[in-house]
Structure 1
């Protein structure tokens, strides 16, 4: 009899929150990409896009093949349009891609890294060959495998922002574009070490996969060692005949003091929390010119520039990656 009079537990606020957490969000129609003459509806997450089969087929072989398959007679429709649910995609990615398929203005210039990532991801999955080719071309031109091309590139093909490097590292892994990874890792560890390395060391941060975190940390240590025997070898004072001052230097004491001052400025940052600078791919610092005599300057530059070539060849290995040629052969295309 006791069971017949069991009191039902009162629902609490936490129960309501749990229900809301597991509740499927309502379907919404895209305000930008719901065309009255559309004849196919793509559903991505909770967003529906009403588009035309002809436009999708023109760009994508996957959709072209899909639309050749007859639909079952009892297939559910919305406004007489069949509905295709695309699993694993994000509505944000599709909005960015559709902005290219249905442009409101000429794209031109440099697309953002976020737009490029969406186009690369979806064009690979659904085989949009022209879009994929353009994305891969931009990435390879922005991050070439040849030093002379690197020297001529300065964000000519992609618009850079604060999250560009982290975003593109994850993208390169996802779409199999391995040849751009050394430069991306190098950018994090040499250009912005005080910004990115603390994030990489933070276990709560999920910006990068574990393998990419390890590569960056390994690379930072390896590059510090590499520059000591390459680009900055002219600052080596721990040998019997240091490079500076040069044999025919006209002011040996001044050039020795200048070289030591440069050494301190690189390896002894002003703030204790700052990491030392890495000079492996940077251009020669023109401020050093006025600090050295013409003879020492010429010798130091020669050592520095030969060192850059060596560093470039060793760059992939510094991050635990294969050599440049093998990385290129591993690219998905």
Structure 2
């Protein structure tokens, strides 16, 4: 399949609105074909990346949804959903057992977007709750971003 045909098919994919959609949100994060409407201030308060992005001027032709800037993310929908769930749901990280793929999501995006507290929490949970070498090896295989031990 040619790259233009593949691009056309991707561009034509219908956009899905995630269940993480706050009517009073100020920014729409788009991961692949899924959008999440959240609060830019909440992201900026927890992420150096988003805090620095806040001061950057936006181009006038920037896409919007319901008057909110759309930030396209090149990340997996699964990862973005679990990152936002950890940010907005205080019970998420309080769970006794969080599946390893969810922890991997927090580590991947926590590193990439500099969510320091979430990254630290995920790493702490990984090392204190699951200290075995076997689980660390499993995590290395389920993350796109290499984890250095």
| 1:78 equivalent in structure 2 | 65
Deviations 1:219-276 (A, max 9, x none): xxxxxxxxxxxxxxxxxxxxxxxxxxxxxxxxxxxxxxxxxxxxxxxxxxxxxxxxxx
Report the CA distance shift for 1:95/1:172 in structure 2 as closer, same or farther (over 3 A): closer
Alignment partners' CA distance in 2, 1:96 and 1:106: 9
Report the CA distance shift for 1:137/1:113 in structure 2 as closer, same or farther (over 3 A): same
Asked if 1:138 is matched to 2:132, the reply is no
> Which of 68, 86, 98 is matched with 2:84 structurally?
98
Asked if 1:23 is matched to 2:18, the reply is no
Any residues of structure 2 matched to 1:14-163 within 5 Å, and which? 23-24=9-10, 25-30=13-18, 32-87=19-74, 89-103=75-89, 105=91, 107-108=93-94, 109-141=96-128, 142-143=130-131
Unaligned runs of 5+ in 2: none
> Which of 166, 169, 192 is matched with 2:140 structurally?
169
Alignment partners' CA distance in 2, 1:44 and 1:101: 17
Any residues of structure 2 matched to 1:225-240 within 5 Å, and which? none
Alignment partners' CA distance in 1, 2:88 and 2:118: 13
Report the CA distance shift for 1:173/1:122 in structure 2 as closer, same or farther (over 3 A): closer
Any residues of structure 2 matched to 1:190-201 within 5 Å, and which? none
Alignment partners' CA distance in 1, 2:82 and 2:111: 15
**Two-structure CA RMSD over aligned residues (Å):** 2.9
- Please say if residues 114 and 167 of structure 1, whose CA atoms lie closer than 8 Å, have aligned partners that are also in contact: no
Structure with the higher strand share, 1 or 2: 2
TM-score for the superposition, normalised by structure 2: 0.81
Structure with the higher helix share, 1 or 2: 1
- Please say if residues 124 and 175 of structure 1, whose CA atoms lie closer than 8 Å, have aligned partners that are also in contact: no
- Please say if residues 120 and 175 of structure 1, whose CA atoms lie closer than 8 Å, have aligned partners that are also in contact: no
TM-score for the superposition, normalised by structure 1: 0.38
- Count residues in correspondence: 142
Report the CA distance shift for 1:170/1:75 in structure 2 as closer, same or farther (over 3 A): same
Larger relative contact order (CA 8 Å, sep ≥ 6)? 2
Alignment partners' CA distance in 1, 2:111 and 2:90: 24
Shift of 1:137: 1.9
Report the CA distance shift for 1:166/1:106 in structure 2 as closer, same or farther (over 3 A): closer
Deviations 1:78-125 (A, max 9, x none): 1111111111x1001111111111117353223210110000000000
Shift of 1:175: 3.7
Kindly name which structure, 1 or 2, has the bigger radius of gyration based on alpha carbons.
Answer: 1
Deviations 1:265-319 (A, max 9, x none): xxxxxxxxxxxxxxxxxxxxxxxxxxxxxxxxxxxxxxxxxxxxxxxxxxxxxxx
Alignment partners' CA distance in 1, 2:22 and 2:87: 13
